[in-house]
């Protein structure tokens, strides 16, 4: 038992919170842990830096690789994170409030203790005046986790935090905000890619869905313009273009889909089209056979005509030849288009992908390998901005 644990600090009224500020700053500056009330349950946290995170993980008995969420003052504290339209809608609807949003930390600005293995950081704005006072003292975000041991019920009073005094090592500063009303922890929604609820909580699922309805028309419009792949959660659209949309571009689409699945990039949509497509035609038999031999299924493909709407849908358009690139440019896609092989020779001259139509299996096989190499290079080049 830790006999040196300080008595809980009164923290229920504005005057008590003001008197506690110096003690809070000292605890945070020393890399210590706070136990504090929120609008849902009592939480544990400190500054998002390595020494404080290590103390918090030890106190909480947190398994490695399971990150802590961040309580933030407002969106200005999350400027380094990637905000999607869905995340913006949820924040507008429920912040301040018991909704936690997981966002991409693409530039790895935050330490591993608050970033999950896929680079996500969970953030929340709490309306509780005690949390706001702590954030003021901290001058920025603090970490947060429920103030209970694994398997134990959430703490709703300072008295329920007596277990902290029995833990060896550095002590937590307990801020006594009084007894909290029964309630649920925050709802957690992952907004990387298609929004999904990771943890049910205080904000009902139906309320989350209503808030997301405001962004659904955007993704539905993408679906209409670019095919079924443009679903809610898509944040980047990739379009391949050839002549008839029966061999090169559907092969590229199939390869890209396969590689995107392997990389876990569910937020990237992919489609293809032809500048002179026989709309509805299947992929050529040779393209289907060669693709199938490499684990890529083109059996459901049907040719689509390149149009201004498809060009507008796409964030990046990769063409097979200069003539296809010219067609894209004529439809307004100049700033978002290049040859599919451009990523193979950054800064150099990209080569065209010859049309295998009418050729033998060897030519189709060569085309497949060229496209696979080019697409792999393209995805590697896009990884800094698209990797989940």
- Both tokens of 213, joined, read 């309805």
Active-site pick, 242, 247, 257, 288: 242
Active-site pick, 77, 116, 338, 355: 355
- Catalytic: 242? yes
* Nearest residue to 90 via CA among 173, 4, 191, 200: 191
- Both tokens of 162, joined, read 């007596």
Query: Burial letters for 355-388: b for 16+ Cβ neighbours within 10 Å, e otherwise?
Result: bbbeeeeebbbebbebbbebbebbbeebeeebeb
> What is the maximal distance between C-alpha atoms in the chain?
84
- Both tokens of 295, joined, read 């684990």
CA angle 243, 244, 248 (to 5 degrees): 75
Active-site pick, 248, 259, 304, 372: 248
Catalytic site positions = 242, 248, 355
């Amino acid at each position: 038992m830790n006999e040196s644990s300080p008595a809980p600090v009164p923290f229920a009224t504005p005057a008590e919170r003001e008197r506690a500020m110096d003690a809070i700053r000292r605890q945070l500056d020393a890399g210590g842990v706070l136990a504090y009330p929120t609008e849902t349950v009592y939480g544990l946290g400190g500054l998002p830096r390595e020494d404080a995170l290590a103390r918090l993980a030890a106190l909480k008995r947190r398994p490695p690789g399971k990150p802590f969420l961040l309580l933030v003052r407002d969106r200005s504290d999350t400027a380094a994170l990637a905000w999607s339209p869905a995340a913006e809608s949820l924040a507008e609807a429920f912040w301040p409030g018991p909704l936690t949003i997981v966002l991409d930390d693409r530039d790895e600005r935050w330490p591993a203790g608050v970033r999950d293995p896929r680079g996500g950081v969970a953030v929340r704005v709490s309306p509780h005046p005690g949390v706001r006072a702590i954030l003021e003292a901290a001058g920025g975000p603090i970490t947060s986790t429920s103030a209970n041991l694994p398997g134990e019920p959430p703490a709703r009073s300072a008295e329920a935090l007596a277990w902290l005094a029995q833990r060896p090592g550095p002590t937590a500063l307990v801020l006594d905000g009084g007894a909290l009303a029964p309630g649920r922890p925050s709802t957690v929604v992952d907004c990387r890619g298609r929004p999904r609820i990771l943890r049910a909580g205080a904000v009902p699922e139906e309320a989350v869905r209503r808030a997301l309805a405001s962004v659904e028309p955007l993704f539905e419009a993408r679906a209409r313009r670019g095919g079924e792949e443009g679903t809610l959660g898509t944040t980047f659209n990739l379009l391949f273009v050839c002549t008839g949309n029966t061999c090169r571009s559907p092969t590229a689409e199939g390869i890209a889909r396969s590689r995107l699945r392997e990389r876990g990039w569910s937020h990237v949509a992919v489609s293809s089209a032809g500048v002179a497509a026989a709309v509805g035609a299947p992929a050529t038999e040779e393209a289907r056979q060669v693709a199938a031999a490499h684990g890529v299924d083109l059996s459901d493909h049907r040719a689509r005509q390149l149009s201004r709407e498809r060009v507008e849908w796409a964030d990046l358009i990769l063409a097979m030849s200069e003539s296809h690139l010219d067609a894209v440019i004529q439809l307004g896609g100049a700033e978002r288009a290049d040859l599919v092989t451009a990523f193979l020779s950054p800064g150099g001259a990209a080569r065209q992908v010859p049309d295998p139509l009418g050729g033998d299996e060897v030519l189709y096989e060569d085309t497949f390998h060229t496209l696979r190499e080019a697409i792999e290079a393209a995805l590697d080049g896009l990884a800094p901005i698209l990797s989940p």
